Amino acid sequence: MSTLRPAVAVSATLVLVAAASLRSASRPAPPLASPPAAQVAPPAAALSPRNASYSIEAQLDPATRTLTGTELLTWRNITSHETRELRFHLYYNAWRNTDSTWLRERALARGGGPGDLPESDWGWTDVGYVRLVSADSPSVDLTSRMRFVAPDDGNAQDRTVMAIALDEPAAPGQTINLQIEWTAHVPRTFARTGALGRYFFIAQWFPKIGVLEDGGWNCHQFHSATEFFSDFGVYDVRLTVPTGWVVGATGVERDHTDIPNGTTRHHYYQEDVHDFAWTTSPDYVVRTDRFEHPGLPPVEMRLLLQPEHAGQAARHFDATRATLRDYGTWFGPYPYDHITIVDPAWQSGTGGMEYPTLFTAGSAWLAPEGVTRPEGVTVHEAGHQFWYAIVATNEFEDAWMDEGFNTYSTARTIEEAFTPNFLSERFFGGFIPWVYRDIPLARATDGNRLSGYREAAKSDAESTPTWRYWPGTAGAITYDKTALWLNTLERYLGWTTQQRILSTYFARWRFRHPSPQDFFDVANEVSGQDLTWFFDQVYRSSNVFDYGVQSLTSEPATARGFFGEGRARAFTAHTSSGGRYHTALVVRRYGEAVFPVDVLVTFEDGQQVRERWDGRDRWRLYQYDRAARAVSAQVDPDRVLLLDIDYTNNSYTLKPRAAEAARKWSLAWLVWLQDVLLTYGCFA
């Protein structure tokens, strides 16, 4: 369990005094001492800068879905420039009405809005007051200076970013303390936060300060295709819910206190995190287990299960354990001594989401063996504890640095720990699974979702800020393309080099908000190669890779002509050719992107010739005079270039394997027919 250390920006005593004052919003704020100059830096034991810390008191009324809260924000300017205003995220206002930028973008992506919703299904945040507090002078009421801004699209109806002007600019190194009171309405789930019946998953729920950079405030509006970005700090949070309701949250519960009015206050605390989420329900089944592995620190695992999934506890723990082991071994150890796994309520729309030390998985009523549900989602979300929670990239602008890295890492862990992993589909609203045990899934294509990337390959360059991606295809570029090019890089450099790149990047940039160039620099340094040519194409361009065989001929030598001319004389001329054959192979670059590929030619006598093509020209001719006829040719036979959008044109054979082709097509049609019959049986 973490221990309360001395001042982050104010002393522990002062934080607790201020927090106590927040429990009664009707009373004026007590004085708070300003931190001395010697304490502008975080404590020596801190893992992060800890420049945005919160002491929060909040109460949930489940009947009305109302959150009332007060917070003390202790914020330090860690840039080299002063700022004359503060900017805050008010994420719940994305669901205040259909005029928000989030809902406009969602309608654009899906071709329609959310429709008519009852008032209880919407969400919003109203700020009651904001006060600047200090021990040296009376508090300053900043409430009248609040205004909504729309830095991204100018949408005057969007209220997801709030700006507050300051009397005096906050200088570099200066710490300020703000008291904020707010009321929020918890929506029926949007963007994996909200409520369903007695189940509440509360995320992005409090006024959260943006990230001040040397170039100004990085505080984007809430967009439908992006997630979040915030600074690290210490969270000291007290949550009041009905007595008997189970609570799970970022951090560790230090204590809880029953209140005579039928509620209980739960006290959670966590250092060196950049967000705080929580959940509560009277229906959770609680299970605990422990992760231990040689060379890695132990982790206490707490699992909150839906009652109907109680029998799946071991599978959640095994998947979390595999993630902590593999990611910890490959990239770097998980730095916290606890993790909370949440099994979300059915149809709550809150599954598959990550927050520091806590994540939501995703299960189902029936979970057959050999299928990675719940394991797949559990591994992925547990994996976010590394690329999202620890490295903490800017997901408004560079979401691929978390989501894509994690998709790639997830597929590797699934391959290591849960093979075979069979294809499955679910019917009757997702209740009934059907497992195709003759179709194992592969990391290269299924784990990295080649099909999703192929459909959206040209929609955006990955270097485009994520919030500006076309909403309907942002996921394919963020998740799928990145996982594919990382896997391609692994096949090009080898896993040993790739692992060193990722572990060096993780160690160097943990708790530091790296940029894309920071990763590229590490890759170049560790590999000993200038990989700019590769990153220019996969990151800075939307060009696609597509290599293939244009033609292959192999004829008796005297019957040859350029590109196969004279085939009609092939058999009659064979005797005079001395039994030698002339083979002509033309390979072609159909896409605009360039990558070095191998070309493999196989002959009837079993011998093979492998060529190395730099892939730059539009086409390349290879010719051979040999005693055996060519049987087949293949571009990229080892499938290094997983970004190739049309692998069907990569090979050519002069001896079609009719039986194998027929078998593959028959299986495909049988699977399709089986699905049709199962669907028909539902209504028969």
Please report, for the domain that includes residue 532, its CATH number: 1.10.390.10
Q: Which residues lie below 8 Å from residue 223, measured CB to CB, with a gap of 6+?
A: 101, 102, 105, 152, 396, 467, 471
> Which pLDDT band holds residue 674 (cuts at 50, 70, 90)?
low
**What average pLDDT does this structure show over 189-208?**
94
Residue 31 has a pLDDT of: 33
Instruction: Report the alpha-carbon distance of residue 232 to residue 107 in Å, rounded.
Output: 33
- What percent of the chain lies above the pLDDT cut of 70? 86
Where does the pLDDT of residue 332 fall: very low under 50, low under 70, confident under 90, or very high at 90 and above?
Answer: very high
The torsion region of residue 116 among left (phi > 0), alpha (psi -120 to 50) and beta comes to beta
Q: What pLDDT is recorded for position 589? A: 98
Residue among 136, 127, 133 at smallest CA distance from 18: 133
Q: Are residues 448 and 597 in the same domain?
A: no
The dihedrals phi and psi of 513, each to the nearest 5 degrees, come to 60, 65
Q: Is residue 670 scored above 90 in pLDDT?
A: no
Q: Is residue 391 a contact partner of residue 326, using CB atoms and an 8 Å limit?
A: no
- CA-wise closest residue to 366 among 437, 431, 434, 435: 431
State the Cα–Cα distance between residues 378 and 353, nearest whole angstrom.
10
**CA dist 261 to 24, 69, 258, 306, Å?**
16, 18, 9, 27
Tokens of 102: 């989030």
Q: If you average pLDDT over residues 172-201, what whole number do you get?
A: 95
The span from the CA of 227 to the CA of 97, in Å, is 20
Instruction: Report if residue 409 sits inside a domain.
Output: yes
The answer to whether position 594 is within a domain reads: yes
Single out the residue of 324, 102, 70 nearest to residue 193, CA to CA.
102
Chain segment 147-175, per-residue pLDDT in tens: 999 999 999 999 999 999 999 999 999 99
- pLDDT value of position 447: 73
3-state SS class at 124: strand
pLDDT, position 429: 78
More confidently predicted of 42 and 349: 349
85 burial (CB, 10 Å; 0-12 / 13-18 / 19+) is middle
Mean pLDDT for 193-199 is 94
pLDDT tens readout for residues 230-258: 999 999 999 999 999 999 999 999 999 99
Are 510 and 371 in the same domain?
A: yes
Instruction: Give yes or no for a contact between 478 and 395, defined as CB atoms under 8 angstroms apart.
Output: no
Q: Residue 364 above 50 pLDDT?
A: yes
DSSP state of 443: I
**What's the CA angle centered on 633, arms 629 and 634, to 5 degrees?**
165
**Does 230 reside within a domain?**
no
How far is residue 411's CA from residue 413's CA, in Å, rounded to a whole number? 6
- 334 and 363, same domain (yes or no): yes
CA distance 381 to 374: 11
Give me the mean pLDDT over the 273-282 stretch.
98
Same domain, 418 and 511: yes
Six token digits for residue 625: 């005079």
| pTM of the model as a whole | 0.87
Residue 513 and residue 376 share a domain: yes
The answer to whether residue 480 sits within a structural domain is yes
Helix (H), strand (E) at residue 107: helix 101-110
Domain check: are 475 and 451 in the same one?
yes
Residue pair 250/356 in contact (Cβ under 8 Å)? The answer is yes
Of the candidates 285, 274, 234, which has an alpha carbon nearest to the alpha carbon of residue 385? 274
CA distance 501 to 486: 11
The pLDDT, as a whole number, for residue 120 is 82
Cα 64 to Cα 277, 282, 518, 621: the distances in Å are 20, 16, 47, 73
Q: For 557-595, write each residue's pLDDT tens digit.
A: 875 444 444 444 444 444 444 689 999 999 999 999 999
Report whether 631 contacts 604 (CB < 8 A). Answer: yes
To the nearest 10 degrees (0 to 180), the angle between helices 375-387 and 313-330 is 40
Give the DSSP H/E element, type plus range, for residue 665: helix 658-683
Q: pLDDT at position 428, please? A: 76
* Residue 178 belongs to a domain: no
Domain boundary among 540, 568, 603: 540
Is the pLDDT at 522 greater than 80? The verdict is yes
Residue type at position 633: A
Residue 482 falls within a domain, yes or no? yes
For residue 502, give its domain range.
294-540
Give the pLDDT confidence of 608-651 residue by residue, as tens digits: 999 999 999 999 999 999 999 999 999 999 999 999 999 999 99
Beta bridge partners of 56: 71, 237
Under the banding of pLDDT at 50, 70 and 90, the label for residue 684 is low
Strands 66-76 and 175-185: antiparallel
CA distances from 136 to 34, 36, 86, 139 (A): 7, 12, 21, 9
450: CB partners within 8 A, 6+ apart: 444, 480, 484, 642
10 Å Cβ neighbour count for 31?
A: 17
> 599: closest CA among 571, 638, 573?
638
In a domain, 363, yes or no: yes
Question: 576 and 465: one domain?
Answer: no
Strand partners, 87: 163
Would you call 226 helix, strand, or coil by DSSP?
A: coil
| Residue 438 confidence (pLDDT) above 70 | yes
d(CA 362, CA 116): 28
Q: Taking a C-beta distance cutoff of 8 angstroms, is the pair 202, 278 a contact?
A: yes
Provide the residue count of the chain. 684
Mean of the per-residue pLDDT values of the chain:
88
pLDDT at 10: 35
Final residue before a domain boundary, out of 540, 573, 602 = 540
What's the domain count of the chain?
A: 3
Asked if 413 and 329 sit in the same domain, the reply is yes
Q: Is-cis flag, bond preceding 356, omega within 30? A: no
Between CA 620 and CA 552 the distance in angstroms is 12
Q: Is residue 187 part of a domain?
A: no
Q: What CATH number is given to the structural domain containing 631?
A: 2.60.40
Task: Identify whether residues 424 and 565 lie together within a single domain.
Answer: no
Q: Are residues 610 and 554 in the same domain?
A: yes
- The pLDDT of residue 65: 96
Residues 538 and 481 sit within 8 Å (Cβ to Cβ)? yes
Question: What tokens were used for 174?
Answer: 């200066």
Q: What is the model's pLDDT at position 34?
A: 34
Contact 116, 190 (CB under 8 A): no
**DSSP annotation of 543:** -
Domain boundary pick from 474, 508, 540: 540
Same domain, 504 and 527: yes
Give the tokens for residue 108: 């654009």
Nearest to 382 by CA among 440, 322, 449, 430: 322
- How many C-beta atoms lie closer than 10 Å to residue 287's C-beta? 18
**Are both 577 and 534 inside the same structural domain?**
no
For 345, the token pair is: 């309520």
